[in-house]
């Protein structure tokens, strides 16, 4: 099995992406399952442990896993906390129901106990494409076919392309991987979109959601993240996740 995060569970994960895309077209936000309806209460701190997308205190959120134990707690505005133990593959985070050219400020703590990412994640359709701007990682640094580098917001990123597929339909995953790890900073998505396009790595015409995600693959760990925080880097504490 490839060490690339999520490669072993692509088909199930894509089903979640497809449902989120349909919901976005119908309502510009995904439908929250009845069991998670309380997640729309602005000042609550709902605990998420099942696959879902929704909104909480003005931000879109997504959570997905295949096997193992992972918990995400939603805090005020763009805050969330996550903890995972013995997971096969999971990811979750907060951001926006529709991705695009945006300056994303974030800060937090990230403690991977193995193969994990802290990354801005999004996808497009027409055609289907996944993309990551990877800011921090654990024991495995993502790779693929080298497609160049891009300098953005004071840091250099290596660009990679990975071809994946569901059945007979292939699609691509694009990575910008920061050369120096960090857990707080600013991401200019337009810089990465433009660099990928110059390398012949074109996104689809329809943007799906975009979140500042924590992801784990066959690992354990925890994170506390605030997205769209002040450019000064000052962040309110993200919610702690019960052990």
**Residues linked to residue 104 through DSSP beta bridges, in sequence order:** 187
Which uninterrupted H or E stretch holds 162? strand 155-166
Q: Is 3 a catalytic residue?
A: no
Catalytic residue from among 3, 41, 130, 135: 130
As a whole number of Å, the CA-based R_g of the chain is 16
> Of the candidates 81, 75, 31, which has an alpha carbon nearest to the alpha carbon of residue 57?
75
215 is annotated as an active-site residue: yes
Give me the catalytic one of 3, 41, 135, 215: 215
DSSP structure string for 3-71: -STTGGGHHHHHHHHHHHHHHHHHHSSPPPPGGGGGGG-TT---EE-SSEEEEETTEEEEEEESSSEEE
Active-site positions?
130, 215
């Amino acid at each position: 099995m490839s060490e690339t995060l999520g490669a072993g569970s692509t088909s199930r994960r894509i089903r979640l992406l497809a449902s989120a895309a349909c919901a976005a077209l119908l309502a510009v936000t995904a439908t929250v399952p009845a069991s998670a309806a309380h997640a729309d209460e602005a000042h609550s701190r709902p605990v998420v442990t099942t696959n879902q997308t929704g909104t909480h205190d003005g931000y879109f959120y997504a959570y997905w896993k295949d096997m193992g134990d992972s918990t995400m707690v939603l805090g005020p505005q763009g805050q969330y906390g996550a903890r995972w133990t013995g997971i096969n593959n999971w990811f979750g985070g907060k951001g926006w129901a529709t991705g695009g050219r945006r300056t994303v400020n974030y800060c937090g703590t990230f403690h991977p106990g193995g193969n994990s990412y802290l990354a801005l994640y999004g996808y497009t359709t027409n055609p289907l494409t996944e993309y990551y701007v990877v800011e921090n990682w654990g024991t495995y640094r993502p790779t693929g076919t080298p497609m160049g580098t891009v300098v953005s917001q004071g840091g250099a990123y290596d660009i990679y392309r990975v071809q994946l597929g569901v059945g007979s339909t292939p699609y691509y995953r694009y990575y910008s991987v920061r050369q120096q790890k960090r857990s707080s900073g600013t991401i200019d998505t337009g810089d990465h979109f433009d660099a990928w396009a110059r390398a012949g790595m074109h996104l689809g015409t329809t943007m799906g959601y975009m979140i500042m995600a924590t992801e784990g693959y066959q690992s354990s760990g925890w994170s506390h993240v605030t997205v769209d925080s002040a450019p000064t880097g000052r962040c309110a504490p993200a919610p702690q996740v019960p052990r």
